[in-house]
């Protein structure tokens, strides 16, 4: 007993504190650790009242006129990456900055800002990223203050193949101007190839900042963590396939695969809720087919990023071949002079329908034309990585990372067309094959820090992936909070993803309740939103007692229907008006008790 007491005195940490400490220390360099050791020693020996005075002074300094607030509003990580780069760039130029993610920004303090830089992407139908919804709604509401003292600049990220290109950035720009804020320089709308635009914009921003004289030698990297991970979007790591297994039944309408990757040779740290970025390759069979149709020799050389490579290698590794866009159709119609394509692009409604239902390769098959290699390359989009919700916890699987992939497929006129990334992962990759990956952090989809907090998980199809990771983590953390999952798919016998694992958690008592919706197992279709309404009173009880809600899946269908069902529950069970229920949901979102990972 004496030895145990002596150990506790010399080692004053609880097991969960030690675990958190080990996780944190991996994110800091040796220099940063040395600085922190001095900081905490000073903290332990200071008078608390004096410490508060100094911290208040520090806060006031950061909120002074000289601070440039940089906000990232990211959906896939591009805006976050650019915001972090801008923060470092301005610091190197002796500018005082405060970097913050949109989800963590106290938007009600925006009236105190003097310099604001927003880097924002657009998702869905011209909507802001999930993490920026609360800021967006506040700015657009009549509660937004006048911002006559504010200078601002916006770098908007988007995809010009969509009608509402960079719409979120445009909306913020217009509204900030309406509220009296002044532009440091005009908004820049960047397409998927944004690097050159970003460099020019950041340089012009620095000039504009110098012109209003806000330079300061004080540097503040608030909110930025120095990641040790060597795997980034631009510098991915190599993982190896351990398992590639179909987990839907032979009679299922869906082909869904569970894929496990070995990352033991990589310095990778991920958290449940994060996504895995995949740099995929187009299939050789597809590339050869396209080249044959266009009468192009596979050994032809083209110039790509100032390098000479074969057209075959370029199409396999560097360009999209499965996703069609309105711009590609217009360019191809112009090059081929095809009358049918010309008629299609002349009618916007017909063009919209055509792009949704006609893969790029089918269009080429239907309207073949002999083209030069370089001319064909010029109409294509550069290949971009795909993101998949991670379906494992590192606490459970150690040097592995798991994803759940649904094969995208269409049968058109008797021919099968597959999605580029999903077919690469599920059909091409075999055990021991290599794949280029990186981790995309998602701090807006996180388990509660308090392990006693209960959670409600709502998903359909592959939307179940992060919840598998959640349960593995809760199991390893020995969390005491209750866990309830709502899951929907077409058929019980064919589409119950990870069925044995859920049943194990249910039997063990870790999973408190499971509510399943099988849309095709009965005459009337049943979806997760229907199961939510069936359990309205119990859901309301959980929410009143502090439960957090998570939604993962299709943004335009499932997620919207689930939100409507939740609002109905708030109105009926909480005796709220329509406005009050919307405000209550917004409060849950701000408190991070309502988090979504939608696509």
Q: Is residue 296 part of a domain?
A: yes
Q: Is residue 231 part of a domain?
A: no
Rg (CA), the chain: 26
CA neighbor of 498 nearest in space, from 462, 525, 474: 462
End-to-end CA distance of the chain: 56
Residues 315 and 360 in one domain: yes
Q: Where are the beta strands (DSSP E) in 196-300?
A: 237-246, 256-262, 275-279
End-of-domain residue from the set 211, 227, 254: 211
Q: Is residue 289 part of a domain?
A: yes
Q: Is residue 223 part of a domain?
A: no
Q: What DSSP string runs through 433-481?
A: -EEEEEEE--TTS---SSTT--EEEEEEGGGGHHHHHHHHHHHHHT--S
Residue 514's Cβ-count burial label (10 Å; 0-12, 13-18, 19+) is: middle
**Cα atoms in the Cβ-side hemisphere of radius 13 Å centred on 529:** 15
Residues 102 and 191 in one domain: yes
What are the pLDDT digits (tens) for 128-178?
999 999 999 989 987 788 999 899 999 999 998 888 999 999 999 999 999
Residues 267 and 314 in one domain: no
**Cα atoms in the Cβ-side hemisphere of radius 13 Å centred on 43:** 8
Residues 189 and 250 in one domain: no
This prediction has a pTM of: 0.76
Residues 51 and 188 in one domain: yes
**With contact defined as beta carbons under 8 Å apart, do 466 and 390 qualify?**
yes
Residues 184 and 264 in one domain: no
- The phi and psi torsions of 221 (rounded to 5 degrees) equal -100, 40
Q: Is residue 230 part of a domain?
A: no
Q: β-pairing, 237-246 with 256-262?
A: antiparallel
- The whole domain housing 416 covers 237-280+385-440
Residues 252 and 398 in one domain: yes
Whether residue 31 is predicted with pLDDT greater than 90 in this model: the reply is no
Residues 254 and 403 in one domain: yes
pLDDT band at 26 (very low <50, low <70, confident <90, very high): low
SS3 166: coil
Residue 535's Cβ-count burial label (10 Å; 0-12, 13-18, 19+) is: middle
What are the pLDDT digits (tens) for 386-431?
999 999 999 999 889 999 999 999 998 888 999 999 999 999 999 9
Q: What is the CATH number of the domain that holds 521?
A: 3.40.50.80
Q: How far apart are CA 501 and CA 487, in angstroms?
A: 14
Give the pair of three-digit tokens for residue 467.
């919840």
CA neighbor of 436 nearest in space, from 192, 144, 197, 232: 232
Q: Is residue 580 part of a domain?
A: yes
Q: Is residue 448 part of a domain?
A: no
Q: What is the CATH number of the domain that holds 86?
A: 3.40.50.360
Residues 54 and 40 in one domain: no
Residues 465 and 540 in one domain: yes
Residues 361 and 393 in one domain: no
Domain count, the chain: 5
Q: Is residue 228 part of a domain?
A: no
Q: How far apart are CA 77 and CA 99, in angstroms?
A: 15
Q: What is the CATH number of the domain that holds 401?
A: 2.40.30.10
What are the pLDDT digits (tens) for 437-452?
999 999 999 999 999 9
Residues 138 and 14 in one domain: no
């Amino acid at each position: 007993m004496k030895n145990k007491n002596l150990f506790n005195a010399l080692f004053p940490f609880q097991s969960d504190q030690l675990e958190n400490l080990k996780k944190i220390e991996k994110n800091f360099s040796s220099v940063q650790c040395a600085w922190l050791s001095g900081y905490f020693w000073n903290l332990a020996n200071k008078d608390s009242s004096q410490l508060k005075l100094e911290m208040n002074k520090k806060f006031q300094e950061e909120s002074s006129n000289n601070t440039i607030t940089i906000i990232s509003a990211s959906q896939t990580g591009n805006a976050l990456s650019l915001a972090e780069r801008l923060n470092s760039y301005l610091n190197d130029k002796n500018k005082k900055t405060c970097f913050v993610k949109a989800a963590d920004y106290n938007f009600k303090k925006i009236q105190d800002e003097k310099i604001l830089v927003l880097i924002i992407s657009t998702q869905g139908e011209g909507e802001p990223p999930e993490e920026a919804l609360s800021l967006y709604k506040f700015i657009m509401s009549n509660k937004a203050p006048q911002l006559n003292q504010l200078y601002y600049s916006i770098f908007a990220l988007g995809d010009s193949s969509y009608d509402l290109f960079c719409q979120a950035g445009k909306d913020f720009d217009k509204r900030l101007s309406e509220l009296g804020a002044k532009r440091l320089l005009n908004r820049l709308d960047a397409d998927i190839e944004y690097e050159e635009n970003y460099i020019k914009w950041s340089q012009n921003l620095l000039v504009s900042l110098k012109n209003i004289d806000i330079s300061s030698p004080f540097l503040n990297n608030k909110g930025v963590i120095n990641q040790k991970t060597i795997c980034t979007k631009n510098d991915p790591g190599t993982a190896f396939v351990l398992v590639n297994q179909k987990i839907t039944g032979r009679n299922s309408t869906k082909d869904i695969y569970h894929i496990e990757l070995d990352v033991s040779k990589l310095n990778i740290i991920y958290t449940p809720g994060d996504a895995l970025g995949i740099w995929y390759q187009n299939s050789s069979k597809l590339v050869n087919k396209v080249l044959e149709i266009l009468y192009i020799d596979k050994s032809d050389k083209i110039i790509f990023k100032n390098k000479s490579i074969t057209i075959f290698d370029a199409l396999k590794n560097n360009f999209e071949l499965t996703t069609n866009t309105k711009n590609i159709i217009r360019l191809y119609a112009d090059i081929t002079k095809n009358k049918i394509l010309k008629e299609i692009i002349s009618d916007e409604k017909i063009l919209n329908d055509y792009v949704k239902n006609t893969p790029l390769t089918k269009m080429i098959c239907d309207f073949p034309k002999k083209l030069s290699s370089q001319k064909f390359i010029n109409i294509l989009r550069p290949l971009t990585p795909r993101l998949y919700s991670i379906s494992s916890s590192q606490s459970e699987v150690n040097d592995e990372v798991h994803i759940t992939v649904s094969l995208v497929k269409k049968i058109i006129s008797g021919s099968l067309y597959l999605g580029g990334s999903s077919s690469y992962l599920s059909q091409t990759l075999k055990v021991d094959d290599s794949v280029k990956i990186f981790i995309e952090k998602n701090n807006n989809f996180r388990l509660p820090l308090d392990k006693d907090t209960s959670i409600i998980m709502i998903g359909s199809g592959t939307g179940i992936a992060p919840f598998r990771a959640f349960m593995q983590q809760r199991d390893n953390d020995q969390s005491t909070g209750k866990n309830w999952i709502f899951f929907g798919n077409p058929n019980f016998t064919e589409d119950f993803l990870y069925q044995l694992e859920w049943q194990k958690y249910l039997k063990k008592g870790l999973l408190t309740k499971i509510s399943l919706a099988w849309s095709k197992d009965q005459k009337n279709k049943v979806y997760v939103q229907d199961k939510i309404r069936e359990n309205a009173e119990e859901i309301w009880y959980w929410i009143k007692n502090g439960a957090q809600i998570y939604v993962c899946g299709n943004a335009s269908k499932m997620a919207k229907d689930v939100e409507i069902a939740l609002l109905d529950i708030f109105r009926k069970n909480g005796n709220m008006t329509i406005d009050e229920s919307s405000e209550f949901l917004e409060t849950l979102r701000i408190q991070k008790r309502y988090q979504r990972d939608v696509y």
